[in-house]
Amino acid sequence: MHITFSCSAGLPGQPETTASVAGDTLTVDGVAYDLSAVPEGGFAEPGGTHPFAGRIARSGGTLTLSLLWRYDAATAQAHQPAVAPVLTVAAGAVPDPIIRKPVELEA
Protein backbone atom coordinates (compact mmCIF):
# COMPACT_ATOMS: atom_id res chain seq x y z
CA MET A 1 0.00 0.00 0.00
CA HIS A 2 1.36 3.45 -0.98
CA ILE A 3 0.18 5.98 1.59
CA THR A 4 0.46 9.76 1.38
CA PHE A 5 -0.36 11.66 4.56
CA SER A 6 -2.39 14.81 4.96
CA CYS A 7 -1.33 15.85 8.46
CA SER A 8 -3.04 18.23 10.86
CA ALA A 9 -2.74 19.02 14.55
CA GLY A 10 -5.57 17.63 16.63
CA LEU A 11 -7.43 19.49 19.33
CA PRO A 12 -5.95 19.32 22.85
CA GLY A 13 -6.69 15.91 24.36
CA GLN A 14 -7.61 14.34 21.02
CA PRO A 15 -5.80 11.05 20.38
CA GLU A 16 -3.24 10.81 17.60
CA THR A 17 -4.00 8.73 14.53
CA THR A 18 -2.73 5.16 14.46
CA ALA A 19 -2.99 2.79 11.53
CA SER A 20 -1.95 -0.64 10.34
CA VAL A 21 -2.08 -2.67 7.13
CA ALA A 22 -3.03 -6.33 6.68
CA GLY A 23 -3.44 -7.31 3.02
CA ASP A 24 -6.05 -4.98 1.48
CA THR A 25 -7.36 -3.90 4.89
CA LEU A 26 -6.28 -0.62 6.40
CA THR A 27 -7.17 -0.18 10.07
CA VAL A 28 -7.26 3.45 11.22
CA ASP A 29 -7.94 4.34 14.85
CA GLY A 30 -9.40 0.88 15.44
CA VAL A 31 -11.75 0.91 12.43
CA ALA A 32 -10.98 -1.59 9.64
CA TYR A 33 -11.48 -0.48 6.03
CA ASP A 34 -11.57 -3.39 3.57
CA LEU A 35 -10.23 -1.99 0.30
CA SER A 36 -10.31 -5.27 -1.62
CA ALA A 37 -13.20 -4.02 -3.80
CA VAL A 38 -11.01 -1.36 -5.46
CA PRO A 39 -10.53 -2.80 -8.97
CA GLU A 40 -7.19 -3.18 -10.74
CA GLY A 41 -6.58 -0.08 -12.85
CA GLY A 42 -9.54 1.63 -11.17
CA PHE A 43 -10.35 3.71 -8.16
CA ALA A 44 -12.90 4.22 -5.41
CA GLU A 45 -14.35 7.42 -4.00
CA PRO A 46 -15.01 6.83 -0.29
CA GLY A 47 -18.36 8.03 1.04
CA GLY A 48 -19.54 8.82 4.52
CA THR A 49 -17.21 9.36 7.45
CA HIS A 50 -13.73 8.04 6.70
CA PRO A 51 -10.04 8.94 7.14
CA PHE A 52 -9.23 9.24 3.41
CA ALA A 53 -8.42 12.39 1.44
CA GLY A 54 -9.52 11.81 -2.15
CA ARG A 55 -9.62 8.71 -4.30
CA ILE A 56 -8.21 5.29 -3.54
CA ALA A 57 -6.59 3.70 -6.61
CA ARG A 58 -5.13 0.31 -7.49
CA SER A 59 -2.40 -0.15 -10.07
CA GLY A 60 -0.15 -3.17 -10.49
CA GLY A 61 -1.93 -4.71 -7.52
CA THR A 62 -0.86 -1.87 -5.22
CA LEU A 63 -3.36 0.39 -3.47
CA THR A 64 -2.52 4.10 -3.42
CA LEU A 65 -4.30 6.48 -1.07
CA SER A 66 -4.03 9.65 0.96
CA LEU A 67 -4.72 9.33 4.67
CA LEU A 68 -5.79 12.10 7.05
CA TRP A 69 -3.34 11.94 9.98
CA ARG A 70 -4.01 13.75 13.27
CA TYR A 71 -1.13 14.44 15.66
CA ASP A 72 -0.48 16.08 19.03
CA ALA A 73 1.03 19.53 18.43
CA ALA A 74 2.66 19.47 21.89
CA THR A 75 5.04 16.67 20.82
CA ALA A 76 5.58 17.76 17.20
CA GLN A 77 7.95 20.25 15.58
CA ALA A 78 6.19 23.54 14.84
CA HIS A 79 6.63 23.20 11.08
CA GLN A 80 5.33 20.05 9.43
CA PRO A 81 5.22 19.40 5.69
CA ALA A 82 1.73 20.05 4.28
CA VAL A 83 1.90 16.62 2.67
CA ALA A 84 4.30 14.06 4.09
CA PRO A 85 6.26 11.76 1.77
CA VAL A 86 4.65 8.63 0.36
CA LEU A 87 5.36 5.56 2.48
CA THR A 88 5.02 2.00 1.29
CA VAL A 89 3.58 -0.35 3.89
CA ALA A 90 3.21 -4.04 3.01
CA ALA A 91 2.02 -5.20 6.44
CA GLY A 92 2.00 -4.07 10.04
CA ALA A 93 1.95 -0.67 11.69
CA VAL A 94 1.94 2.45 9.54
CA PRO A 95 4.96 4.56 10.58
CA ASP A 96 4.24 7.92 12.20
CA PRO A 97 5.01 10.57 9.54
CA ILE A 98 5.23 13.46 12.04
CA ILE A 99 8.51 15.25 12.74
CA ARG A 100 8.74 15.19 16.53
CA LYS A 101 10.44 17.55 18.95
CA PRO A 102 13.67 16.19 20.41
CA VAL A 103 13.14 14.33 23.65
CA GLU A 104 14.97 16.03 26.48
CA LEU A 105 16.70 13.61 28.82
CA GLU A 106 16.46 14.32 32.52
CA ALA A 107 19.77 14.69 34.29
pLDDT in tens, 33-53: 999 999 999 999 999 999 999
* Residue 58 backbone dihedrals phi, psi, to 5 degrees: -130, 125
The answer to pTM > 0.85 is yes
pLDDT of 107: 66
Q: What is the pLDDT of residue 21?
A: 98
Report d(CA 51, CA 29) in Å as an integer.
9
Q: What is the pLDDT of residue 24?
A: 97
pLDDT of amino acid 106: 76
| Regions in the chain scoring below 50 on pLDDT | none
- Apex 21 CA angle, 18 and 27, nearest 5: 50
